[in-house]
Amino acid sequence: MPITVNDTQYDLPDDPRVSLLDFLRHEIGLTGTKKGCDHGQCGACTVLVDGMRINSCLSLAVMHDGDTVQTIEGLGTETDPSPLQKAFLEHDGYQCGYCTPGQICSATAMLNEFANNWPSDASDDLEAAIDMSDEEIRERMSGNLCRCGAYVNIVAAIKAAAKEMAA
């Protein structure tokens, strides 16, 4: 079975050593997903697999037979950006932009986790409805590092996108 990336089907690589990240960037030319550390430490390579966020550098492409992958290119376009893509632009949620695709993919999945009331390490009550506080957002986005330190604006962008999506 092939892999589906942003609504297009591709054959998986013959070489079982190819990471999902290298497959996306080098084999099908989707260079929006970035390679930072290549060791699961920075989150720059975050993509969505069947709606869940993962570090694509830590996953082999052949493990995704039949899976549906979304990358930053599949979330929106220049003329029709996703609410998060728009909010990152409006709130200056980036400086050099290298971590941004990973931040936006991660935040996309994170907002679904909020919508399903998944608790995090910052949640006091595991049963109660969770308030989208700055602390909750920072904890849930802690796997995505930004060397430029745009964290304050990233949190503001995520809150703005969540508000727009709720409206």
Q: Per the structure block, which two tokens stand in for 36?
A: 């930072």
Q: Which residues of 53-70 are buried (b: 16+ CB within 10 A; e: fewer)?
A: bbbbbebbbbebeebbbb
Exposure string of 4-34, with b = 16+ CB inside 10 Å and e = fewer, is bbbeeebebbeeeebbbbbbbbeebebebbb
Identified binder of ligand FES from the candidate list 37, 115, 128, 152, rule CB under 6 A: 37
Residues 3, 84, 141, 150: which binds ligand FES (CB under 6 A)?
A: 150
Instruction: Please pick, from the candidates 57, 72, 156, 161, the single residue that binds ligand FES as defined by CB under 6 A.
Output: 57
Nearer to ligand FES, 65 or 92 (CB): 92
**By CB under 6 A, residue 152 contacts ligand FES:** no
User: Which of 9, 15, 97, 112 touches ligand FES by CB under 6 A?
Assistant: 97
| Site residues (vs ligand FES, CB under 6 A) | 35-38, 40-45, 55, 57, 94-100, 146-148, 150
